[in-house]
Structure 1
Amino acid sequence: MFDIARQHLKTPRDLLRFAMSRFTEAGLFFGHGTDNAWDEAAYLIAHTLHLPIDRFDALLDARLLPSELNDALDILERRVSERVPAAYLTREAWLAGHDFYIDERVIVPRSFIAELLPDGLSPWIEHPELVHRALDLCTGSGCLAILLADAYPDAEVDAVDLSTDALDVATLNIERYGLEQRVTPIESDLWAGVAGNRYDLIVSNPPYVDAESVAALPDEYLKEPELALGSGEDGLDATRAILEQATHFLNPFGVLVVEIGHNRDVLEALYPALTFTWLDTSGGDGFVFLLTREDLVTGGL
């Protein structure tokens, strides 16, 4: 099919129609930056042809050179045949208006926490300048650590991950944004590498997929590092480890923000004494919780 397409397609519009048909026919799964075949195809075509995505519609009928057509079809074919997330094909992912280098060493960035920085954490953090030290646990590509540094310009940020491969990618992104003096990548199994440190704000988007869901993941997710997805039978092993030590790492008025996927009911049943604040996000109010240090102490942690 792709060989035939090389002989007949002429424009980005042709490519877009063809890609949508092939994506739908292949039953691709979307969820790494887009949620439908149209947006995914438009992004891949525009990126490959070096066209601005926000003006893509105006260029749909431009005639393509044979080399341009082949390049676009190559990346579309890989998306279909290998079921690779688009971010791994383009080596790029966007989060909160920032672009990050991404490859198979890290999970593709997609965190509701990004949209909460900084205004969504008010009134718990009244002014950005009140955050002097921040921590991103399970940093992956370093995206949330970099967004923390952007949202809180007076803060020094520690970016922690167990994976040295992930930290190599995080370092690339830290350097890309010129934040070497403010964001520090640290190899650590959660808290071990930051013992003795205290933070005004700690955020984490840890692994949180339960064992049953891991077993049913579509192929696209299986291309991501296994370490970054599953977290025990109920998906909350990492979250429990975060909660049970967090008081030791928060300043007296410190704030903890954690994303946990669809595990709200299970988490609240595990910690009935904790008063979780569930933050409103574009996905709803059941995915990201906030606890102050006082909340943790009052809840017996």
Structure 2
Amino acid sequence: MYAQAAVTFSTVRDLLRFAVSRFTACELVYGHGTTNAYDEAAYLILATLNLPLDTLEPFLDATLLPDEIRDVVEMIEKRAEQRIPVAYLTHEAWQGEFSFYVDERVLVPRSFIYELLGAPLEPWIEHPELVHRALDLCTGSGCLAIQMAHHYPDAEIDAVDISLDALEVAAINVENYGLEERIQLLHTDLFQGIEETYDLIVSNPPYVDEESVDELPAEYLHEPELALGSGRDGLDATREILRRAPEFLNERGVLLVEIGHNREALEAAFPELPFVWLETSGGDGFVFLLTREDLVTAGEP
């Protein structure tokens, strides 16, 4: 493929057209940062060429060196043939203005929770200074812990994961943001061994149900299996979080959990809980909020 490309292609525009055609023909699945073939192709090309990710137009007709063409074509082919998520190819994923190192040891960051930190939580956390300690369960790449540190500058944050591999990636990101003094990475399973209490607990736990795990597109099978499935109905981890959260929340503490497409199943399983479903860019059925008072009043545990 490269030999033909080296003769045929000369500009970014050539590579962009080629990538969109390849991705469309291969019927790739998106959702790890982009939603369509064009955006995926543009991002992959710009990242590979070390160009600004938000500036495509001025470079479209730039003539590329043979080595640059080779590098881009290799990336396009890996994405098309192996269906590797683009974030694993570039080792970078974005949430808002935050960039994170990622590889196949962690999920590609895409939680809606980051949209809700800060101002959207003001009805429950009036001032950022009220968050003295926070906990990120199932931290993965550490992306939510890092963003909590940004929104709550007085908070000390514990970031927990059962995967040592994931914590190695999280450590890279924590160091990149210079937050080693504020974020403590803990190797444990959810609340096991934790002795602190918190003003804010967030979690993007595994939540894919058994049937859906079996039907995941190839792109998602590159992600750690441990971080995807959570029992027959996808709620095993969430049940444990709800059961134990009151022990670890301070009097006015807030719990924020993402549960994918499981809203109906969760409400059926816990009809006594007054879930508050927060509006995100994906809709209002993906992230719920409960206070410690809600949990204690409902009898959890």
- After TM superposition, the score normalised by the length of structure 1 is 0.98
User: How many angstroms does 1:109 deviate by?
Assistant: 0.4
Q: What residue in structure 2 maps to residue 120 of structure 1? A: 120
Q: TM-score, normalised by structure 2?
A: 0.98
Whichever residue aligns with residue 220 of structure 1, its letter is: E
Where structure 1 has 5 or more consecutive residues not aligned to the other structure, the ranges are none
Q: CA deviation at 1:2?
A: 5.0
Q: Deviations over 1:172-207 (max 9, x none)?
A: 11011000000000001000031x210000000000
Partner of 2:97: 97
**2:294 paired with 1:299:** no
Residue 223 in structure 1 maps to residue 222 in structure 2: yes
**Aligned partner letter, 1:269:** A
Matches of 1:185 and 1:213, distance apart in 2:
30
Contact 2:210–2:233 (CA under 8 A) maintained in structure 1 = yes
CA distances 1:190-234 after superposition (whole Å, capped 9, x unpaired): 00031x210000000000000111000000000000000000000
Cα deviation, 1:30-75, whole Å, max 9, x if unaligned, reads 1100010011100000001111122111210111111111111111
1:45-64 paired onto structure 2 within 5 Å: 45-64=45-64
Alpha carbons 2:160, 2:187 under 8 Å: kept: yes
Aligned-partner Cα distance in 2 for 1:44–1:213: 28
SS for the counterpart of 2:206 is coil
In structure 1, the partner of 2:166 is 166
2:284 match: 285
Partner of 1:235: 234
Tell me whether 1:88 sits opposite 2:91 in the alignment.
no
The equivalences for 1:150-165 within 5 A come to: 150-165=150-165
- Larger mean CA deviation between 76-85 and 199-208 belongs to 76-85
Distance 1:43 1:11 in 2: 15
Structure 2: which amino acid aligns with 1:276?
F
SS in 2 for 1:251: strand
Q: Give 3-state SS (helix, strand or coil) of 1:80's partner.
A: helix
SS of residue paired to 1:230:
coil
Q: Do 2:34 and 2:40's aligned partners in 1 also have CA atoms closer than 8 Å? A: yes
| 8 Å CA contact 2:29, 2:217 repeated in 1 | yes
Distance 1:53 1:137 in 2: 31
Find the aligned partners of 1:6 and 1:243 in 2 and give their Cα distance. 57
Q: Is the 8 A contact 2:2 2:70 kept in 1?
A: no
Match of 1:184 in 2: 184
SS at match of 1:99: strand
Contact 1:133 1:200 survives alignment (8 Å): yes
Instruction: Give SS of 2:68's match.
Output: helix
**2:67 matched to 1:67?**
yes
Letter in 2 for 1:250: L
1:253 matches 2:252: yes
Q: Structure 2 regions of 5+ residues with no counterpart?
A: none
Alpha-carbon distance between aligned partners in 1 of 2:201 and 2:16, rounded to the nearest angstrom: 42
